[in-house]
Amino acid sequence: MEGKAAKTGRRALEGITVLEWAQRVAGPFCGRLLADMGAEVVKVEPPDGDASRRHGPFLNSAPDPETSALFLYVNANKMSVTLDPTTPRGAELFRRLAATSDILIEDRQPGEMQSLGLDYQSLRQANAGLVYASITPFGQTGPYAGYRAYDLNIFCAGGEANALPGSLSNQLFPGREPVRAGEGLADYDAAMTASVAIVSALLARDLSGAGQHLDISRQDAAMALTRETIQRYTGYGEVVTRDRAYFLGGIFQCRDGYVALFPREDRHWLSLCEVMGRDDLSRDERFSDLEGRSTHKDILNAALQEWVEDKPMMEVYEKASDGGCPAGYYATAAEVAASAQMASRGFFVELEHPRAGRLSYPTSPYNMSETMPSTEQAAPLLGEHNAEVFGRRLGLAAEEMNELRRGGVI
């Protein structure tokens, strides 16, 4: 497959216009998800740019707002305009852009958009169909609505950090602090939630004709993903912590890395015993069902560790999974980038950027037979589309734009 760099047909959100006034990852990655589905996304940046432009790594390790890997990834496929909506003239231009958009994504503290006259109630006057998505740390309501939070705080607020790292780390370093996952995972999670909410609101608009205000709390988005461990508390009073006991399988250390083995069902277990050459284990009555294997998981985990210890990671992965046991290898970004499986599905595209050069980007994880998502454009330069958006879409004259530029509005 060629990769999802070029449109192969009509995309699902073709014709939908999005105004994005959001920084870092939660709002912008939501914009990217919509853009890959075919929406036209205009990203509004403050005159000094989105904060993620200051986040490394950068090309040649030289800080440059145009070559932040994080910014480039979450903002591919968009247009960028610079605008300061906190000035009266800036707010007026913002209002005009919102009047012709289907979706607005904003991530300001609750109350701030209202003070600028740019809240949902104000903007819907000129655009009844507007879907207005507010993404904030703790939502628009409740005692913590005014709290500040970065990804780390949200990951802790969602409940998942309390149970991480767990398993092998916890055995090696008992009593150490909890950890967050990934590099900003909770922000990406909020982006995903916001995208699902927005498309749901578009489907509702089909039936009602009206838009709505979506209150996306990053804490709510994180808690939604912890619902199964929360359920263990509300259902059984069990508080899952870093001491949690997992079922048989998990993480094992090989000669040159780590593997995940997860022989859940009988057939998985039997296949793994065969690959390991351990007839004694597959014949042992104690391990013949899920319950028995759970009871004796310490013996069995030790047998798995012994088997993998002196072997290369990829050999264990291939042998176990070819045999039919769920298995994985703990990949670095280098190994992800080299995955023949992902490449064969067109998951990576190469995009040319005037400052960052030609780079490979992950795209959408779903292949769709009629509305294949695509990522055609690298991220925009700061204000790259000022002329196109203010000129073409809003019809400002060149002289007027110069004046706004001089006034620091754009």
Tokens of 83: 């605008």
User: Tokens in use for 288?
Assistant: 């013949």
- Is the Cβ–Cβ distance between 52 and 32 less than 8 Å? no
Smallest gap from Cβ 191 to other proteins, in A, equals 9
How near is the Cβ of 391 to other proteins at its closest, in Å?
A: 30
| In the complex, minimum distance from the CB of residue 280 to other proteins, in angstroms, rounded to a whole number | 24
Min dist. Cβ of residue 400 to other proteins (A)? 34
Residues in the chain: 410
CB of 195 to other proteins, least distance (A): 5
List the one residue out of 106, 114, 87 whose CA is nearest residue 24.
106
Whether residue 275 contacts residue 326, with contact meaning beta carbons closer than 8 Å, is answered with: no
Give the whole-angstrom CA distance, residue 370 versus residue 180. Answer: 38
Instruction: Answer whether 346's CB lies under 8 Å from 41's CB.
Output: no
Nearer to other proteins, 2 or 341 (CB): 341
DSSP 3-state assignment of 351? Answer: strand
Q: Are 75 and 45 in contact (CB under 8 A)?
A: no
Q: What is the largest CA-CA distance in the chain?
A: 85
Q: How far is the CB of 209 from other proteins (least distance, A)?
A: 10
Cα distances from 355 to residues 130, 206, 369, 382, 389, in angstroms, run 35, 41, 34, 12, 22
CB of 303 to other proteins, least distance (A): 18
Residue 90 or 166 with smaller CB distance to other proteins: 166
Cβ distance to other proteins smaller for residue 93 or 163: 163
Helix axes 227-236, 218-225, angle to 10 degrees: 70
Q: Are 253 and 309 in contact (CB under 8 A)?
A: yes
| Cβ 105 to other proteins shortest distance, Å | 13
Least distance (Å) from other proteins to the CB of residue 254? 11
Q: How many CB atoms lie within 10 A of CB 94?
A: 26
Cβ nearer to other proteins, comparing 59 with 382:
59
**What token pair was written down for 245?**
């006991």
Choose between 234 and 406: whose C-beta lies nearer to other proteins.
Answer: 234
Nearer to other proteins, 90 or 373 (CB): 373
Q: Tokens in use for 269?
A: 């277990």
Would the CA dihedral through 24, 109, 210, 191 be positive or negative?
A: positive
Cβ at position 368, least distance to other proteins in Å: 5
> Residue type at 41?
V
Closer to other proteins by Cβ: residue 125 or 200: 200
Exposed, middle or buried by CB within 10 Å (0-12, 13-18, 19+), for 253?
Answer: middle
Nearest residue (CB) to other proteins, 15 versus 407:
15
Helix (H) or strand (E) holding 170: helix 167-172
- Closer to other proteins by Cβ: residue 51 or 99: 51
Distances from the Cα of 385 to the Cα of 45, 107, 206, 292, angstroms: 11, 22, 30, 63
- Which of residues 344 and 399 has its CB atom nearest to other proteins in the complex? 344
